[in-house]
Amino acid sequence: MEPGRTKEGAMNLSYPMLSRANYTVWAMKMMVNMQAHGVWEAVSPKNPKTTEVDEKMDKIALAAIYQSVPENILLSLADKGTAREAWEAIKVTCQGAERVKSAKVQTLKTEFESMAMKDSESIDDFSMKLAGIVTNIRALGEEVAESYVVKKLLRAVPSKFLQIASTIE
């Protein structure tokens, strides 16, 4: 029998557990798993104006969400009647309201701009730090061009790495 399949041939997918630090990855995995089970439309209908969702689909989606969140978040979802409401509540909790998201983006951009590579730091380590900040900015819905990131990397390297930087450029 194939791994992940039951005797009846149905896929048995495990849902990831949400934590404080993994919302973006959690949301991506949940979306794909729920699409595989055919219930993602309960959370995000193809037609956004649709208000009615198949009740069974909604309950399966809600059960999937309940399985993948810790108890403290689960308790805050108790009054949510649909999978869409639960999903939005988790999103707001983890990403924050628009103003909070905007403030987070500004903080990350400031951190990005003020970063400077230390003499003792390797280019790989520094570029990983930059990439981490850029990933967080993008996860909050803000666009960051690759060329902008490369220019920052080239500006931030110490003079001992100028030859490597000019080669990269």
Q: What is the pLDDT of residue 34?
A: 94
d(CA 33, CA 64): 9
Q: Is the pLDDT of residue 60 over 80?
A: yes
pLDDT, tens digit (0-9, with 9 covering 90-100), for 98-150: 677 788 889 999 999 999 888 788 878 888 999 999 998 998 888 999 989 88
Average pLDDT over residues 36-58: 87
Of 12-26, 35-49, 150-164, the least confident:
150-164
How is residue 138 written in tokens? Answer: 């993008």
Q: Which of 85, 68, 58 is nearest to 17 (CA)?
A: 68
Average pLDDT over residues 24-49: 90
DSSP conformation class of 118? -
b/e sequence 127-138, b meaning 16+ C-beta within 10 Å: bebbeebbebbe
Residue 88 — very low, low, confident or very high, per pLDDT cuts 50/70/90? Answer: very high
Q: What is the pLDDT of residue 50?
A: 73
How is residue 7 written in tokens? Answer: 């005797």
* Higher pLDDT, residue 48 or 22: 22
d(CA 92, CA 89): 5
What percentage of the chain has pLDDT greater than the value 90?
41
Instruction: With beta carbons less than 8 A apart as the criterion, state whether 119 and 161 touch.
Output: no
